[in-house]
Structure 1
Amino acid sequence: MARMHTRRRGSSGSDRPTADEPPEWSDVDSDAIEDRVVELAEQGHDPSQIGMKLRDEGVTGTPIPDVKLATGKKVGEILAENDASPALPEDLRNLMEQAVRLREHVRENGQDYQNKRALQNTESKVRRLVDYYRGDEIDPEFTYTYEVAADLLEE
């Protein structure tokens, strides 16, 4: 797939091997996995960080290579069931953080035209994602501005 704001093609990566069931060496109970997911979310970890922590640390020392194979549910579904899902979707939050950092940088360095362009591109991506999530994940009247993003990220 092509990149959004350049004429270059995207970079391809390797695919995860297909599997229908978890490996035999990872025999952790699905309830224990769900409890660990909720515990990590309460500690302030994002869903992608939770997946990496379960892959690396696991539950009681046994790594979990794939949460969906082990439990039948994705990390986001587990968080939604236990009312532990984040207020903003992770991709939108990360882009807002990047836009706020870029805005502060451009304010201090007015002649940095490359980062002015990067700020325009990032804010364009944020607005596009806000349109995508509006109504389902975020408030229907939500509109992106720097002030709103800075306030949301302070919380």
Structure 2
Amino acid sequence: MARMHTRRRGSSGSDRPVADDPPEWSDVDPDDIEARVVELAEQGHDPSGIGLKLRDEGVKGVPVPDVKAATGKKVTEILEDNDAAPEIPEDLRNLMERAVRLRRHVEENGQDMQNKRAMQNTEAKIRRLVDYYRGDELDEDFVYTYDTAVDILEG
């Protein structure tokens, strides 16, 4: 399948193992994992960053390769249960950060048409994601603008 805004195809990545059970060498208590997830969220880490920290550092020195296999819940579900979930989804926040950065760049460099196009593509992706999340993760009347993105990211 081709990329959304170019004609190129992406390179395929590696697949995760099919196993549903956590490996024998990673026998961490699910309650300890959940406590560590909440602790990392309070330190300001995003859900994907929490997964990487658990994979690399682990809990009490034991790595956790897959949080869902070990606990039966995804990282975001654990955060929602403990009222530590981010107010805006991580993918939307990352796109908003990129759009704000690109808008500032284009304002300073008016002749940079390539990044102007990249900004337009990024904002189009944001609008599609807002339509997807509207009602569930976002308010019904949420509309993306540059000013709302700046307010959300600074607040």
| TM-score of the superposed pair, with normalisation by structure 1 | 0.98
Aligned partner of 1:34 in structure 2 is: 34
Write the distance in 2 (CA, Å) between the matches of 1:143 and 1:75.
Answer: 27
Matches within 5 A, 1:15-30: 15-30=15-30
State whether structure 2 residue 98 is matched by structure 1 residue 98: yes
Aligned partner of 1:3 in structure 2 is: 3
Aligned partner of 2:13 in structure 1 is: 13
Which blocks of at least 5 consecutive residues in structure 1 are unaligned?
A: none
Q: CA deviation at 1:11?
A: 2.0
Q: CA deviation at 1:20?
A: 1.9
Matches within 5 A, 1:1-150: 1-150=1-150
Amino acid paired to 2:73: K
Amino acid paired to 2:123: E
Q: CA deviation at 1:10?
A: 2.4
| TM-score of the superposed pair, with normalisation by structure 2 | 0.98
**Size of the alignment, in residue pairs?**
155
Q: CA deviation at 1:83?
A: 0.8
Superposed structure 1 runs of 4+ greater than 3 Å apart: none
For the aligned residues, what is the CA RMSD? 0.7
